[in-house]
Amino acid sequence: MPPRSSSKKKTVPANAGSTDDHSSASSKAKTKKDQIDQLFDSYANSSIQMIDPEGIEALCSDLGVDYTDVRILMFAWKLKAEKQGYFTLDEWRTGLKALGVNTLSELKKALPELESEVRTPPNFADFYSFAFRYCLTEEKQKTVDIESICELLNLVLGSQFQPQVDLLIQYLKFQSDYKVITLDQWMNFLRFCNEISFPDLGNYDSTAAWPLILDYFVEWVKQKA
Amino acid sequence: MSNQKKRNFQIEAFKHRVVVDPKYADKTWKILEHAIDEIYNHNASGLSFEELYRNAYNMVLHKFGERLYTGLVTTMTAHLKEISNSIEAAQGDMFLEELNRKWNDHNKALQMIRDILMYMDRTYIPSNQKTPVHELGLNLWRDNIIHFIKIQMRLLNTLLELVKKERTGEVINRGLMRNIIKMLMDLGSSVYQEDFEKPFLEVSAEFYRGESQKFIECCDCGEYLKKAERRLNEEIERVTHYLDAKSEAKITNVVEKEMIANHMLRLVHMENSGLVNMLLDDKYEDLGRMYNLFRRVPNGLSTIRDVMTSHLRETGKQLVTDPERLKDPVEFVQRLLDEKDKDDSIISLAFNNDKTFQNALNSSFEYFINLNARSPEFISLFVDDKLRKGLKDVSEEDVEIILDKVMMLFRYLQEKDVFEKYYKQHLAKRLLSGKTVSDDAERSLIVKLKTECGYQFTSKLEGMFTDMRTSQDTMQGFYAKYPELVDGPTLVVQVLTTGSWPTQPSATCNLPAEMSALCEKFRSYYLGTHTGRRLSWQTNMGTADIKATFGKGQKHELNVSTYQMCVLMLFNNADRLSYKEIEQATEIPASDLKRCLQSMACVKGKNVLRKEPMSKDIGEDDAFFVNDKFTSKFYKVKIGTVVAQKESEPEKQETRQRVEEDRKPQIEAAIVRIMKSRRVLDHNNIITEVTKQLQSRFLANPTEIKKRIESLIERDFLERDANDRKLYRYLA
Q: Any idea what the CATH number is for the domain that residue A42 is in? A: 1.10.238.10
Chain B residues touching residue A207 (CB < 8 angstroms): 684, 687, 702
Asked whether residue B547 carries a pLDDT value surpassing 60, the answer given is: yes
Q: Does residue A77 form part of some domain? A: yes
Of A119, A153, A169, the residue that ends a domain is A119
Asked whether residue B550 carries a pLDDT value surpassing 90, the answer given is: no
pLDDT recorded at residue A10? 47
pLDDT recorded at residue A11? 47
Chain B nearest C-alpha distance from A164 (Å): 20
pLDDT recorded at residue B498? 86
CA dist., res. B91 & res. B515, Å (int): 118
Chain A residues touching residue B720 (CB < 8 angstroms): 184, 187, 209
| Cβ-proximal residues to B585 (8 Å cutoff; 6+ apart), any chain | B510, B570, B577
Same domain, A106 and A196: no
Q: How confident is the model at residue B284 (pLDDT cuts 50, 70, 90)?
A: very high
**Residue in chain A lying closest to B688 (CA):** A207
Same domain, A134 and A98: no
pLDDT, tens digit (0-9, with 9 covering 90-100), for A128-179: 999 998 888 888 888 899 998 998 998 888 888 888 899 999 999 998 888 8
Chain A residues touching residue B726 (CB < 8 angstroms): 208-209
Interface of A with B in 169-188 (CB under 8 A): 182, 184-185, 187-188
Asked whether residue A21 carries a pLDDT value surpassing 60, the answer given is: no
Of A119, A135, A150, the residue that ends a domain is A119
User: Highest mean pLDDT range out of A75-89, A175-189, B342-356, B482-496?
Assistant: B342-356
Of the two residues B108 and B629, the one the predictor is more confident about is B108
Number of compact structural domains in chain A: 2
User: What's the average model confidence in pLDDT over B270-299?
Assistant: 92
- State yes or no: cis peptide before B665, omega within 30 of 0: no
Interface of A with B in 5-64 (CB under 8 A): none
* Residues A173 and A146: beta-carbon distance below 8 Å: yes
Asked whether residue A208 carries a pLDDT value surpassing 60, the answer given is: yes
Interface of B with A in 527-556 (CB under 8 A): none
A145 touches chain B (CB under 8 A): no
User: What's the average model confidence in pLDDT over B723-728?
Assistant: 84
Task: Pick A212's closest partner by Cβ from B682, B687, B710.
Answer: B710
Candidates B704, B710, B711: best to mutate against A (most CBs of A within 10 A) is B710
Helix (H) or strand (E) holding B362: helix B355-369
Task: Pick B726's closest partner by Cβ from A182, A187, A208.
Answer: A208
pLDDT recorded at residue A18? 46
pLDDT, tens digit (0-9, with 9 covering 90-100), for B608-627: 888 888 887 888 888 888 88
Q: How far is CA B472 from CA B11, B465, B467, B468, B540, in A?
A: 122, 11, 9, 6, 20
Name the CA dihedral angle for B263, B266, B272, B276, rounded to a multiple of 10 degrees: 100
User: What's the average model confidence in pLDDT over B691-719?
Assistant: 90
**Residue in chain B lying closest to A126 (CA):** B722
Chain A nearest C-alpha distance from B702 (Å): 8
Interface of B with A in 464-523 (CB under 8 A): none
Instruction: With CB atoms and an 8 Å threshold, state whether A212 touches B703.
Output: yes
Of A119, A135, A163, the residue that ends a domain is A119
Q: Does residue A143 form part of some domain? A: yes
Same domain, A54 and A134: no
Of the two residues B541 and B31, the one the predictor is more confident about is B31
Q: Does residue A3 form part of some domain? A: no
Q: Is the pTM of this model over 0.80?
A: no
* Residues B519 and B491: beta-carbon distance below 8 Å: yes
Using CB atoms within 10 A of its CB, is residue A203 exposed (0-12), middle (13-18) or buried (19+)? exposed
Same domain, A167 and A204: yes
Name the CA dihedral angle for B440, B441, B443, B444, rounded to a multiple of 10 degrees: 110
Helix (H) or strand (E) holding B518: helix B513-529
B688 touches chain A (CB under 8 A): no
A211 touches chain B (CB under 8 A): yes
Asked whether residue B556 carries a pLDDT value surpassing 50, the answer given is: yes
pLDDT recorded at residue B620? 83
Instruction: With CB atoms and an 8 Å threshold, state whether A215 touches B706.
Output: yes
Q: What letter represents residue B482's amino acid? A: Y
Same domain, A183 and A133: yes
pLDDT recorded at residue B232? 94
Q: List, as own/partner pairs, every contact residues B90-96 make where C-beta atoms lie below 8 angstroms and the sequence separation is at least 24, other chains included.
A: B95/B154, B95/B155, B95/B158, B96/B155, B96/B158, B96/B176, B96/B180
DSSP-derived secondary structure for B630-682: ---SSSEEE-------PPPHHHHHHHHHHHHHHHHHHHHHHHHHHHHHHSEEE
Chain A residues touching residue B718 (CB < 8 angstroms): none
Asked whether residue B372 carries a pLDDT value surpassing 80, the answer given is: yes
Closest of B67, B145, B59 to residue B110, by C-alpha: B145
Asked whether residue B531 carries a pLDDT value surpassing 90, the answer given is: no
Candidates B720, B721, B724: best to mutate against A (most CBs of A within 10 A) is B720
Instruction: With CB atoms and an 8 Å threshold, state whether A209 touches B725.
Output: yes
Asked whether residue B655 carries a pLDDT value surpassing 50, the answer given is: yes
pLDDT recorded at residue B250? 94
Chain A residues touching residue B707 (CB < 8 angstroms): 212
Q: Does residue A138 form part of some domain? A: yes
* Residues B496 and B538: beta-carbon distance below 8 Å: yes
Chain A residues touching residue B703 (CB < 8 angstroms): 212, 215
* Residues B99 and B180: beta-carbon distance below 8 Å: yes
User: What's the average model confidence in pLDDT over B694-713?
Assistant: 90
Q: How confident is the model at residue B666 (pLDDT cuts 50, 70, 90)?
A: very high
Asked whether residue B645 carries a pLDDT value surpassing 80, the answer given is: no
Chain B nearest C-alpha distance from A209 (Å): 5
**Residue in chain A lying closest to B709 (CA):** A211
A208 touches chain B (CB under 8 A): yes
pLDDT recorded at residue B439? 82
Instruction: With CB atoms and an 8 Å threshold, state whether A184 touches B682.
Output: no
Same domain, A129 and A210: yes
Which domain range does residue A132 map to?
Answer: 125-224
Same domain, A34 and A104: yes
pLDDT recorded at residue B194? 92
Instruction: With CB atoms and an 8 Å threshold, state whether B710 touches A215.
Output: no
Q: Does residue A169 form part of some domain? A: yes
- State yes or no: cis peptide before A199, omega within 30 of 0: yes
Instruction: With CB atoms and an 8 Å threshold, state whether B683 touches A208.
Output: yes
pLDDT recorded at residue B20? 61
What is the pLDDT of chain B when averaged over all its residues?
88
Asked whether residue B689 carries a pLDDT value surpassing 90, the answer given is: yes
Chain A residues touching residue B700 (CB < 8 angstroms): none
A71 touches chain B (CB under 8 A): no
Q: What does DSSP say about strands B636-638 and B555-561: parallel, antiparallel, or unpaired?
A: parallel
Q: Between chain A and chain B, how many beta carbons pairs sit less than 8 Å apart?
A: 33
CA dist., res. B539 & res. B588, Å (int): 9
pLDDT recorded at residue B4? 58
Q: Does residue A1 form part of some domain? A: no
Instruction: With CB atoms and an 8 Å threshold, state whether A207 touches B720.
Output: no
B658 touches chain A (CB under 8 A): no
Q: How confident is the model at residue B249 (pLDDT cuts 50, 70, 90)?
A: very high
DSSP-derived secondary structure for A192-225: HHHHS-TTT-TT--TTSS--HHHHHHHHHHHHH-
Same domain, A104 and A80: yes
Same domain, A94 and A151: no
pLDDT recorded at residue A23? 53
Of chain B, the percentage scoring pLDDT greater than 70 comes to: 97
Asked whether residue B2 carries a pLDDT value surpassing 70, the answer given is: no
Phi, psi values for residue A224, rounded to 5°: -65, -35
pLDDT, tens digit (0-9, with 9 covering 90-100), for B111-128: 999 999 999 999 999 999
What is the pLDDT of chain A when averaged over all its residues?
82
Task: Pick A209's closest partner by Cβ from B703, B714, B726.
Answer: B726
Chain A nearest C-alpha distance from B683 (Å): 5
Of chain B, the percentage scoring pLDDT greater than 90 comes to: 49
Instruction: With CB atoms and an 8 Å threshold, state whether B684 touches A207.
Output: yes
Beta-bridge partner residues of A51: A87
Q: How far is CA A18 from CA A10, A12, A84, B344, in A?
A: 21, 15, 45, 104
Asked whether residue A7 carries a pLDDT value surpassing 50, the answer given is: no
Q: How confident is the model at residue A24 (pLDDT cuts 50, 70, 90)?
A: low
Q: Does residue A4 form part of some domain? A: no
Chain A residues touching residue B710 (CB < 8 angstroms): 182, 184-185, 211-212
Q: Any idea what the CATH number is for the domain that residue A163 is in? A: 1.10.238.200
Judge if ipTM > 0.90.
Answer: no
Q: Does residue A19 form part of some domain? A: no
pLDDT, tens digit (0-9, with 9 covering 90-100), for B292-302: 999 999 999 99
Chain A nearest C-alpha distance from B680 (Å): 14
Chain B residues touching residue A214 (CB < 8 angstroms): none
Task: Pick B706's closest partner by Cβ from A185, A188, A212.
Answer: A212
Same domain, A109 and A61: yes
Candidates B706, B719, B731: best to mutate against A (most CBs of A within 10 A) is B706
pLDDT, tens digit (0-9, with 9 covering 90-100), for B395-413: 888 888 889 999 999 999 9
Instruction: With CB atoms and an 8 Å threshold, state whether A209 touches B714.
Output: no
Same domain, A163 and A177: yes
Chain B residues touching residue A212 (CB < 8 angstroms): 703, 706-707, 710
Candidates B703, B718, B719: best to mutate against A (most CBs of A within 10 A) is B703
Chain A nearest C-alpha distance from B671 (Å): 14
B684 touches chain A (CB under 8 A): yes
Of the two residues B607 and B166, the one the predictor is more confident about is B166
User: What's the average model confidence in pLDDT over A12-29?
Assistant: 51
**Residue in chain A lying closest to B715 (CA):** A142
Same domain, A145 and A204: yes
